[in-house]
Each structure stands twice: as C-alpha cells, then as structure tokens.
Homo-oligomer: A and B are copies of this chain.
C-alpha cells in the first residue's frame, strides 16, 4: 500500500467515536493526534499518552504541516464552524468525518469549498455511553464503516478514509449520501423513535407495568436510555429520510390496528415481520471486487456493489 494512503491522522473531537478512533489508529501503528474543546478530556487524553491539543488552530496547523487526514468527530451542529476553520487553517489536508448523517455534512463540505478533498464516513458503532472516558480502541472491530462515494468524489480522500476504517478493524461499505441517509433512517433513526414511544407507553402503565417488564420491553427501549441531546443530534439532521421510514411504520401500525379492532387478530404482521427479521439475520456480505478506484464511474460502481450488500475487507482485494 503506498504511503500516501496512510497519512497521519488528526481527530477533531474526542468523544466516544473520535476518542476510540484516536486509540484504534494509534494501536494500528498510525501516527495520530487530536483536538478536543473540553479541557478535562484533553488532560485525560494527554495523561493517557496521546498527543492532544486544546487549541483548534494549533491542531489544524500541525495537521497542515504533516499533510494529515483530518477526521471530524463533532456533533452535526458543530460541523459548520469546524469546516470553516479547516478551510482557513489546513488548506491542503484531506478530510473525512464520522457524523451519523452524510447529506448535511456533504452540503457543509461543499459550502466551505472542501468538496474536492473530502470523503465522508460513518462507522456503525456506538454504545449507550459517550465522551472520551467511554472510548476504547476495539469499538470498530468487525463494525461496518460507510465510506461515502459520490460521482465527483476524488480517489485520494476516499482511499485514505477507507484505509483508516480498515486499520481500525472495520469493514468498509461504500454508499452515496442519499442512499446512506435513507438506510440509516430505517435501521438507526426509526429504532430510536419507536423505542422512545414504547418507553412512554410502558411508563404510562406505572409501577405494575414497569415491574412486569421483561426482555421484550428492556431490549425494545434500550436506546431510549441514550441522552436526549444525542438522540436529537443523530435523528434531526436526517428528518426527511426519517419521515419516509416513519410513515411506512405508521402505515403498518394502522393496518394492524384495524385488524385488531375488527377481527381481534394481528393479520399478517407477525409473518411479515418474522420474514424481515430472518432476512436481516441471514444478510450476506460478499467481498466487492473488480473495481479500480479512479477508473471511470468508479464511485457509481462501488455504490451499486454496496447496494447489493457488498463490503471491502482490504483495499488490495478490490481491483
């Protein structure tokens, strides 16, 4: 693998994802440093032996000098000012991000003129915890890491981002921003919304209902335990795609409501839900091969393969 695929890493924002990334990249032998706004987390990361700045300008100057790949790991509302700072202070660095939506981040990258050196990313990993203290390097092991490929994405930032994901122990799924955001609305944002509604309906049954709750309620409401600010930061930037998924779920729930009221049965809901869960449990992840990054139409070819469930486990297996 040419050296240019593994430049130093500059992680902006050392929460659960960014902090875990700094740890994982370091363990993988990558030169990596970071920045965090909170002084406490900076001190903790420094005490743990990491090269971490509490000053954004200083971190970006170091990134520029080292031709680093900058990884933006801040919540969506903070992405805009970080991109503005990167445009001003690190004009030659490649850039990626680990934010949970891709369309809004891509728009921001374009607004700030970063587009030609940017490829978005989204590691599908997390826990109920947050912050540097919760970070750990194994977070990405065997996780799926989406690396965004648009028709006009440049090969260098895409390859650097994909290599970083692989170095952290993840497998890469290529997708464009629109497909990504529609997919995560279904399998991440809708689950959050349903979990919140289920928790509320359970608690409305007071201590008796909550005291009888066993596995189905515990698992079905687990993500309602996440901090409300975090849930909003994850779901709200993807409101358009979330609405589509929510409307589909509402249509199913209305159908079963009518069936329960008229016949006392679930209709075909349980059969179709069971088939859907079985399809999830048996989903195949074939290796993507036969695509040379940079060849004509490579991004579309990657996205087509990603839509079929394909993954990349090593860049040199790709072509």
A: residues with CB less than 8 A from B are 124-126, 143-144, 146, 173, 175, 179-180, 182-184, 186-188, 190-228, 231-232, 235-236, 239, 242-243, 245-250, 252-254, 256-257, 260-261, 264-266, 269-281, 283-285, 306-309, 311
Contacts and interface: CB of A to CB of B under 8 A. Distances in A.
B242 A199 contact: no
A213 to B, nearest CB: 4
A171 to B, nearest CB: 10
A217 B307 CA distance: 18
B200 A276 contact: yes
A186 B202 contact: yes
Given A194-B220, A273-B224, A200 B252 contact: yes
A249 to B, nearest CB: 5
Nearest to A239: B264
A221 B307 contact: no
Contact of A270 (B146, B196, B198): B196
A143 to B, nearest CB: 7
22 contacts: A124-B214, A125-B214, A126-B215, A183-B209, A187-B205, A193-B269, A194-B220, A196-B272, A199-B280, A201-B245, A202-B276, A202-B280, A203-B276, A217-B280, A219-B220, A219-B222, A220-B222, A221-B273, A232-B266, A239-B260, A250-B253, A250-B254
A276 B186 contact: no
Q: How many copies of this chain sit in the oligomeric assembly?
A: 2
Contacts of A197: 194, 249, 252-253, 256, 269, 273
Question: Quick one: which of A187, A218, A220, A306 has the most chain B CB within 10 A?
Answer: A187
A274 B203 CA distance: 11
B276 A199 contact: yes
Contacts of A280: 199, 202-203, 210, 213, 217-218, 221
A100 to B, nearest CB: 11
Contact of A250 (B175, B219, B227, B250): B250
Contact of A187 (B180, B216, B223, B284): B216
A258 to B, nearest CB: 10
Nearest to A196: B273
B266 A236 contact: yes
B173 A188 contact: no
A73 B182 CA distance: 44
